[in-house]
Amino acid sequence: MHFLHRRESGHPWVSVIALTFSIFIVNTSEFVPIGILPDIAESFSLTSGEAGQMITIYAWLVVCLSLPLTALTMKVERRKLLLGLFLLFILFQSVGAWSPSFPALILSRTGAAFVHSLFFSLAIPLVVSMAPEGKRTKALSYAASGTALASVLGMPAGTLIGHYWGWHSVFGAIAVLALVNLLVLARSLPAMAGDDSRIASSMKKMERNRSLLMVYAILFLGVSGYYTFYSYVVDFLQNGAMISRGWVPFILMLAGIGGVCSSLLFPALYRCSPRYCLYADIIVLTGVLFLMDIPFSETAALRIAGVCGLVMVFTVFQLILQSRIFILASGYADLANSLFSSVFNVGIGMGALAGGRLLNGGADVDRLGFAGAFFAAAALASEWAVLRFADRGNLQADLQKKGGKDD
């Protein structure tokens, strides 16, 4: 499904890669406060739970603004809209780099959330439209990798920058990367007219697709569980095992490398059992979150291993669900992926809020893994229901359909 009227570009893959990098940058901007949260809290004399509210505010603003802004701008010329959004994004990241107070930082994050809320409903269809004929699924997989790599590489890299040059410099670095990417997009993207003629019919198809709706339910629960714990991962690493803050960026980078490795192994794992791969992954995700709460996890080595394992398992979780989106939403995967981003943000907001409330209520940071495991267990129950009660023949055919093929 395309909502765009495309004018040919001489270098379509340059545009696809630039759009993928823009997805990486915007998502990195969302995730990076997790790694520098204690530094932000300390600089403004806040607790981590209080500072963590900006993660929830950002995520839920994205959700609330996404559909209204998408509807209002559907007929606006796509290239101008994207470039204008990126200019605003650079402006708000610059405000973050300057922020002298927590309200100023919240203003910066609010503006970035405004851009984010419209960006993904725009970027995914652009990726699809720019892909060469017969390479749409490959292009969509590139776009999905931009999101996955932001959490496993972008956030740790930002944490490392923040450790050596201060948290303000992280937002400055994102602004510089966005400016470079803006120049590439300006050179490579052709003009494209907007078109809202098929949105209504595609939305109706999505509403009737029960398997797709279950994907969103499982996504929300799994992301909520992960971010209940991971939003405060820096405090977890420093608590109990006495890991110094100077080592935290390197530990997160190590976890990110593990996430990249699991993403490389994902195609082989998924081909082995597309039907049960998600079920097995959620079992492991639930188990790892639960283990974060038990006494033997207080040693530094076990905490580091736990965080690395958690990132690897969650990376696979994201990729499995994105693969299901491509398969189950054949014909309107671009819109389905835009909704994927919204649901993901609802989960981030819920997880950060739940973890922050627990910390502000006096709970130890170690208890967050146990709380996250409850969300993950609910996701596991949902996937069990899908496998147990869905039309087994049709579901099996859907998950194996087009396996390894492009459209």
The average confidence (pLDDT) of the chain is 82
Residue 296 inside a domain? The answer is yes
Q: Rounded to 10 degrees, what is the CA torsion of 349, 354, 360, 365?
A: -110
Q: How confident is the model at residue 297 (pLDDT cuts 50, 70, 90)?
A: low
Q: What is the pLDDT of residue 180?
A: 94
Among candidate residues 39, 46, 57, 304, the one with its CA nearest the CA of residue 161? 39
Q: What is the pLDDT of residue 38?
A: 87
Give percent of the chain above pLDDT 90: 28
Condensed to tens digits (0 to 9), the pLDDT of residues 93-122 reads: 999 999 899 999 999 999 999 999 888 778
Condensed to tens digits (0 to 9), the pLDDT of residues 179-212 reads: 999 999 888 888 776 655 556 666 677 667 777 8
Among candidate residues 329, 373, 330, the one with its CA nearest the CA of residue 351? 373
Residue 331: pLDDT over 70: no
Q: What is the pLDDT of residue 221?
A: 96
Q: How far apart are the C-alpha atoms of 28 and 224, rounded to whole Å?
A: 18
Residue 270 inside a domain? The answer is yes
CA distance readout (Å), 336 to 54, 340, 369, 381: 27, 6, 30, 23
Residue 407 inside a domain? The answer is no
Instruction: Find out whether 147 and 233 touch, Cβ atoms under 8 Å.
Output: no
Instruction: Find out whether 20 and 145 touch, Cβ atoms under 8 Å.
Output: yes
Structure tokens at 161: 């920058």
Q: What is the pLDDT of residue 393?
A: 45
Condensed to tens digits (0 to 9), the pLDDT of residues 124-163 reads: 778 877 777 767 667 766 777 787 788 778 888 898 898 8
Indicate the number of domains in the chain: 1
Q: What is the pLDDT of residue 119?
A: 86
Condensed to tens digits (0 to 9), the pLDDT of residues 366-380 reads: 789 889 999 999 999
Question: For 71-75, 276-280, 348-352, 363-367, which range has the lowest pLDDT when averaged over its residues?
Answer: 71-75
Residue 58: pLDDT over 60: yes
Q: What is the pLDDT of residue 188?
A: 84
Identify residue 136 by its one-letter amino acid code.
Answer: R
Owning domain of residue 280 = 4-400
Q: What is the pLDDT of residue 403?
A: 47
> Phi and psi at residue 5, in whole multiples of 5°?
-100, 115
- Answer yes or no: pTM beyond 0.85: no
Residue 295: pLDDT over 70: no
Residue 406 inside a domain? The answer is no
Residue 120 inside a domain? The answer is yes
Torsion-angle region of residue 331: left (phi > 0), alpha (psi -120 to 50) or beta?
left
Residue 278 inside a domain? The answer is yes
What average pLDDT does the segment 10-25 reach? 85
Residue 54 inside a domain? The answer is yes
Question: For 155-159, 220-224, 275-279, 294-298, which range has the lowest pLDDT when averaged over its residues?
Answer: 294-298
Condensed to tens digits (0 to 9), the pLDDT of residues 2-15 reads: 445 454 555 778 88
Residue 405 inside a domain? The answer is no
Q: What is the pLDDT of residue 270?
A: 75
Among candidate residues 234, 233, 235, 227, the one with its CA nearest the CA of residue 351? 227
Q: What is the pLDDT of residue 404?
A: 45
Nearest-10 crossing angle of helices 167-188, 78-98: 160
Q: What is the pLDDT of residue 309?
A: 93
CATH number at residue 262: 1.20.1250.20
